[in-house]
C-alpha cells in the first residue's frame, strides 16, 4: 500500500511540474515586460525632461583672413586653444565622408542613437566582461564634447537621451559640422581647421586620402596618436583606418596602398602670424564678444591683405635691418591705387626687443623730408614755380639754425625739379615761404594728413620733418599723387570702392611725379624702372623713410627705433632704396605713367633761370609749365652791360656765386665756410681712405687758399671743393680768397663707433 501511495504521489508530482514551470515563466515574463515597460516609460519621461547641451556654446580662435579667405593670423581662443572655425563646405567632402565611415556608418539614418550598434556593443561587452565598445555615434560624441561627464552607465544613458533630442533641433550637416570643429586633435588643437594646418600646413579640403585618414585616426585618441610625438603609432592607426575603408568598399586597393605609402611627418606647424600688429587692432581680441561660434563675424575678419606681398614686404624689411642693432625695427605699408585696398601691412618686423609690440604703421613719427612734394605741389598749382625755375641752395637761417643738406654740401643755383628730386633743404624752405604756411597746411590736410590741434605754427620746420604723421596717412597722401590728384583712403575692407574726389590739379601732380621719377639718385643697379620715390630722414637719425609709387601701387617703408633713439646709418635713401625698388620688382609693377595733361605746355626756358629764354641767355631747353600761368617777362638773369653779357644772380645766390652784382644791387656780404659748418660735429673714419670731408665756401671771389689746422692744403677756384681726411678731435679750417678776405670754421671729428653715443644735438640741423 505504501508503494501505491508513493507511486501516486510521484505521479501527482510529475503531473504538477509543468504547471509550476508555466507559472514561473509567466511571472518572469510579466516581470521582464514590466521592467522593459518601466525602462521605456523612464526613457520617455527622461526624453521629455532632459535638456541637451548647447553644442554651439564654445569659443573659437580670432582669425585674420587674407584677400582669399585664408588664415593670415590666428590667435588663441578664450581657453588658450587653437580652433579655426570652418563650415562643412570649406572642410570639403572627403574628410567628413571618412569620419562618418569610420566613426558612425549609419549616421545619416539613425535618430541620434544607433540601436544596432548599442546591441552589438552590449553583446561584445558581456562576452569580454569589459567595456570594448561604447556605441557612441557622432551625435553622442558631440553631446559629450559639449557637456563632459564621468564615464558611467548613467552618463551614457543621459548622453543617448540628449543625442536623440539634439537631432530634433539640428540637421545632420549641422551636427557633423559642429563635431568636426569641436573634436580635439592633440595638445591645444581643436577642430579639423587647426589640425590640418598644424600637421600638414593645408586647409582640410586640400588634404590627401592618407592625411584625412590620419586626422580621423586621431579622433579615437588624440593624445595617443599625435604624429608630432608618436609618428609610428599614428601611422599604424592610420593604416587601420585605411584598411577599414577598403574592407567596406569605400576606397580601392590602389588608393589604399598609395595612401599607406605617404610618410607621416612629425613636424608641427605653428599657427600663421603674418600680421600680428594689424591683428591686435583689427581683431579686438580683448573687447569683442564675437569670437564664439555663431556670433556675427566669428568665422574671421576678412581683409584685403595679399599674403604673397605681405611675406615679400616682411622679407625685404628684414634684409634692410641687417646692418642695424636689434633696437631698430622696420615697418611698411602697400596700397592698391585703384581702390585704396591695403595689400600688405607690417607694423614691425622684429619679434623681440623692448618695443617690438609697437605698431609703427599707426605711430606718429617725424616724416623727415617726405612732405616736401606737397609744398612744391602748391607752388606748381598756381604757377608760382615751374620745374625749371631757379632756386637757391645756399645757407638759409631759420631761427638761429641753418638747415643743410644731408651730404653737407650746398649746390648754389638749382632748378625746382632738381631741388625736389634731390631733397634739398634750403630751397624747400624758400618754397614754403613762397607758398605760405597756411596754404601749405591746407594742401597737407587735403592729402589726408592730420594736423595736431596743439600746434599753431610750424615755420620752416614743416618741410624738414617738424610735423609728425603716421605711415597710414602718408600712404594715402602719396596714393593721391599716384592717382593724378584723386584722394585715396587706405582700407582693409574688401568692398572698398576707392572712388575718391579730386583734391589736386592733375597738371601740378604730373609735374611733381615727373620730378620724383628722376632716378639719378639711385645706384646704377636700381635704375630704369620709372618709379616715383621720395626719401626722408628725421633730425638726429631717428627715422628713415621711403615713399615709392607708380600708377598701380603705393608703398611706404620705415626703419627706426620705436623708442626714438638715434642710430648711425639711418638714412631714407641709403637704407631703404634697395628694399623699395626690389619690392616693386617683386610685385611686377610695370604700369605706364599717364601722358602730360592738356593743361600743360612746353616752352623754351633759360637753362639757368628757368624763365622764358631771352636773347642773352647762354642757350635754351624745353620745359613744362601750366598753360594758364605763362610769365610775360623773359629771363632776367642774363643782361647786356657795356657791350658784355653778364649774369645778375638773385641776392641769395650772388654771394655764393662770387658775383659783384645781384638783381638787388652790389653783393657785399663777407665770405663764409659752409662745409664744415662752424661748431659742427663730423663723423669720420680716419682708417677709411674714402671717408673724406669736402671744403666749401660761399661768397668767396676768385681762387681760394685752404688751410687745415694752420697747414696749407690746396688752392682752388670758388666752385671747386678740395677734400681732406682728418683724425678725431678738434680742428680749424681757414680760407683766404683773392680779395684777401678770411673765414674760419672750428669743428670736431668723432669716429663712427662713438658717434651715436657722443654726438649731442647742435645748432646745425641735418635732414634728408
Would you kindly state where each structural domain of the chain is located, as residue ranges? 63-260, 316-586, 633-668, 672-766
For residues 402 and 766, give the distance between their C-alpha atoms in angstroms, rounded to a whole number.
9
Can you tell me which residue has the cell 625749371? Answer: 388
Cell numbers that stand for 127 in this block? 562576452
The rounded average pLDDT for each run of 10 residues, N- to C-terminus, in the chain (768 residues) is: 43 48 56 46 58 93 94 93 96 96 92 80 57 73 92 85 93 96 96 96 95 95 93 95 94 95 92 91 75 92 95 96 94 96 96 87 93 96 92 69 68 92 92 92 92 70 88 97 96 88 96 94 90 91 94 97 89 91 90 92 90 89 84 81 84 72 51 83 79 82 84 81 89 82 86 50 31
Following DSSP, what letter does each residue of 675-710 receive, concatenated? ESPTT-EEE--TT-TT--EE-EEES--SEEEEEETT
Hey, do 63-260 and 316-586 end up sharing a CATH topology, with the first three levels equal? no
Phi/psi for 626 (5° steps) reads -70, 130
Buried b (16+ CB within 10 A) or exposed e, 140-164: bbbbbbbbeeeeeeeebebbbbbbb
pLDDT of residue 16: 45
Can you tell me which residue has the cell 623773359? Answer: 634
Query: CB of 193 within 8 A of CB of 84?
Result: yes
Query: CB of 503 within 8 A of CB of 481?
Result: no
Can you tell me which residue has the cell 663723423? Answer: 683
Query: CB of 214 within 8 A of CB of 236?
Result: no
pLDDT of residue 765: 30
Question: Hey, which CATH number is domain 672-766, 3.30.70.100, 3.30.420.40, 2.60.40.10, 3.10.150.10?
Answer: 2.60.40.10
For the range 8-12, what are the long-range contacts, defined as Cβ-Cβ under 8 Å and sequence gap of 24 or more? Answer: none
Classify the phi-psi angles of 221: left when phi > 0, otherwise alpha if psi is within -120 to 50, otherwise beta.
beta
pLDDT of residue 469: 93
63-260 is classed CATH 3.10.180.10:
no
pTM of the predicted structure, to 2 decimals: 0.77
For residues 84 and 735, give the distance between their C-alpha atoms in angstroms, rounded to a whole number.
73
Following DSSP, what letter does each residue of 48-97 receive, concatenated? HH-----TT--B---EEE-TTS-EEEE---TTS-B-----HHHH-SHHHH
β-pairing, 63-65 vs 301-302, is parallel
User: Taking the CB of residue 23, how many other CB atoms lie within 10 A of it?
Assistant: 10
Task: Name the fold adopted by 316-586.
Answer: Beta-lactamase (3.40.710)
pLDDT of residue 36: 46
For residues 453 and 138, give the distance between their C-alpha atoms in angstroms, rounded to a whole number.
62
Can you tell me which residue has the cell 543621459? Answer: 158
Sequence-distant (6+) residues with CB within 8 A of 392 are 412, 413, 414, 426, 427, 430, 650, 652, 653, 656
Can you tell me which residue has the cell 595612401? Answer: 259
Cell numbers that stand for 736 in this block? 683766404
Beta partners for residue 17, in sequence order:
none
DSSP 273: B
Amino acid at each position: 500500500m505504501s508503494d501505491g501511495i508513493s507511486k501516486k504521489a510521484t505521479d501527482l508530482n510529475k503531473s504538477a511540474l509543468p504547471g509550476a514551470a508555466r507559472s514561473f515563466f509567466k511571472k518572469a515574463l510579466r516581470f521582464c515586460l514590466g521592467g522593459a515597460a518601466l525602462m521605456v516609460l523612464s526613457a520617455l519621461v527622461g526624453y521629455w525632461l532632459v535638456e541637451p547641451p548647447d553644442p554651439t556654446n564654445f569659443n573659437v580662435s580670432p582669425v585674420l583672413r587674407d584677400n582669399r579667405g585664408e588664415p593670415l593670423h590666428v590667435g588663441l581662443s578664450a581657453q588658450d586653444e587653437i580652433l579655426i572655425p570652418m563650415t562643412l563646405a570649406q572642410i570639403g567632402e572627403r574628410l567628413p565622408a571618412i569620419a562618418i565611415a569610420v566613426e558612425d556608418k549609419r549616421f545619416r539614418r539613425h535618430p541620434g542613437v544607433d540601436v544596432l550598434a548599442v546591441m552589438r556593443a552590449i553583446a561584445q561587452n558581456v562576452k569580454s566582461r569589459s567595456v570594448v565598445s561604447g556605441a557612441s555615434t557622432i551625435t553622442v560624441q558631440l553631446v559629450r564634447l559639449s557637456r563632459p561627464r564621468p564615464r558611467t552607465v548613467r552618463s551614457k544613458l543621459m548622453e543617448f537621451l540628449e543625442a536623440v533630442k539634439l537631432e530634433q533641433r539640428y540637421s545632420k550637416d549641422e551636427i557633423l559640422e559642429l563635431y568636426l570643429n569641436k573634436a580635439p586633435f592633440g595638445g591645444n588643437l581643436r577642430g579639423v581647421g587647426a589640425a590640418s594646418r598644424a600637421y600638414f600646413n593645408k586647409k582640410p579640403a586640400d588634404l590627401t586620402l592618407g592625411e584625412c585618414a590620419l586626422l580621423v585616426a586621431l579622433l579615437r585618441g588624440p593624445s595617443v596618436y599625435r604624429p608630432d610625438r608618436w609618428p609610428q603609432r599614428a601611422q599604424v592607426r592610420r593604416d587601420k583606418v585605411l584598411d577599414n575603408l577598403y574592407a567596406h568598399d569605400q576606397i580601392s586597393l590602389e588608393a589604399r596602398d598609395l595612401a599607406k605609402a605617404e610618410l607621416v611627418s612629425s613636424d608641427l606647424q605653428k599657427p600663421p602670424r603674418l600680421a600680428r600688429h594689424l591683428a591686435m587692432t583689427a581683431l579686438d581680441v580683448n573687447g569683442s564678444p564675437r569670437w564664439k561660434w555663431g556670433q556675427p563675424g566669428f568665422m574671421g575678419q576678412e581683409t584685403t591683405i595679399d599674403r604673397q606681398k605681405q611675406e615679400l614686404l616682411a622679407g625685404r624689411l628684414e634684409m634692410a635691418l641687417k646692418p642695424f642693432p636689434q633696437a631698430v625695427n622696420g615697418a611698411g605699408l602697400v596700397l592698391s591705387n585703384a581702390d585704396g585696398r591695403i595689400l600688405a601691412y607690417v607694423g614691425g618686423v622684429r619679434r623681440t626687443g623692448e618695443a617690438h609690440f609697437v605698431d609703427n604703421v599707426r605711430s606718429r613719427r617725424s616724416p623727415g623730408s617726405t612732405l616736401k612734394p606737397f609744398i612744391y605741389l602748391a607752388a606748381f598749382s598756381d604757377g608760382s614755380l615751374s620745374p625749371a625755375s631757379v632756386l637757391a641752395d645756399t645757407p638759409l637761417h631759420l631761427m638761429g639754425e641753418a638747415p643743410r643738406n644731408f651730404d653737407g654740401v650746398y649746390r648754389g643755383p638749382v632748378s625746382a625739379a632738381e631741388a625736389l628730386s634731390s631733397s634739398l633743404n634750403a630751397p624747400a624752405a624758400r618754397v614754403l615761404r613762397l607758398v605760405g604756411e597756411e596754404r601749405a597746411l591746407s594742401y597737407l590736410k587735403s592729402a589726408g594728413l592730420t594736423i595736431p590741434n596743439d600746434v599753431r605754427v610750424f615755420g620752416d620746420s614743416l618741410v624738414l620733418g617738424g610735423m609728425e604723421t603716421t605711415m597710414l596717412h602718408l600712404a594715402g597722401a602719396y596714393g593721391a599723387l599716384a592717382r593724378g590728384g584723386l584722394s585715396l583712403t587706405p582700407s582693409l575692407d574688401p568692398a572698398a570702392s576707392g572712388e575718391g574726389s579730386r583734391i589736386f590739379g592733375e597738371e601740378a601732380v604730373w609735374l611733381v611725379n615727373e620730378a620724383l621719377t628722376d632716378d639719378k639718385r639711385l645706384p646704377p643697379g636700381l635704375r630704369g624702372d620709372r618709379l616715383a620715390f621720395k626719401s626722408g630722414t628725421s633730425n638726429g637719425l631717428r627715422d628713415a623713410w621711403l615713399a615709392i609709387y607708380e600708377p598701380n601701387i603705393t608703398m611706404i617703408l620705415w626703419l627706426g627705433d620705436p623708442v626714438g633713439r638715434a642710430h648711425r646709418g639711418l638714412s631714407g635713401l641709403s637704407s631703404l632704396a634697395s628694399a623699395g625698388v626690389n619690392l616693386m620688382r617683386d610685385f611686377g609693377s610695370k604700369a605706364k605713367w599717364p601722358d602730360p595733361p592738356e593743361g600743360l605746355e612746353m616752352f623754351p626756358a633759360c637753362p639757368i633761370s628757368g624763365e622764358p629764354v631771352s636773347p642773352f641767355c647762354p642757350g635754351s631747353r624745353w620745359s613744362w609749365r601750366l598753360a594758364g600761368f605763362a610769365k610775360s617777362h623773359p629771363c632776367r638773369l642774363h643782361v647786356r652791360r657795356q657791350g658784355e653779357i653778364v649774369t645778375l644772380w638773385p641776392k641769395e645766390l650772388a654771394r655764393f656765386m662770387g658775383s659783384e652784382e645781384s638783381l638787388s644791387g652790389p653783393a657785399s656780404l663777407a665770405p663764409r665756410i659752409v662745409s664744415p659748418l662752424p661748431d659742427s660735429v663730423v663723423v669720420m673714419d680716419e682708417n677709411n681712405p674714402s671717408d673724406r670731408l669736402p671744403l666749401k665756401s660761399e661768397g668767396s671771389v676768385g681762387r681760394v687758399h685752404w688751410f687745415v689746422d694752420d697747414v696749407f692744403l690746396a688752392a682752388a677756384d670758388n666752385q671747386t671743393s678740395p677734400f681732406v681726411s682728418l683724425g678725431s678731435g678738434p680742428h680749424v679750417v681757414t680760407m683766404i680768397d683773392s680779395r684777401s678776405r678770411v673765414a674760419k670754421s672750428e669743428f670736431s671729428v668723432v669716429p663712427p663707433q662713438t658717434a651715436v653715443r657722443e654726438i649731442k644735438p647742435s645748432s646745425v640741423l641735418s635732414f634728408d
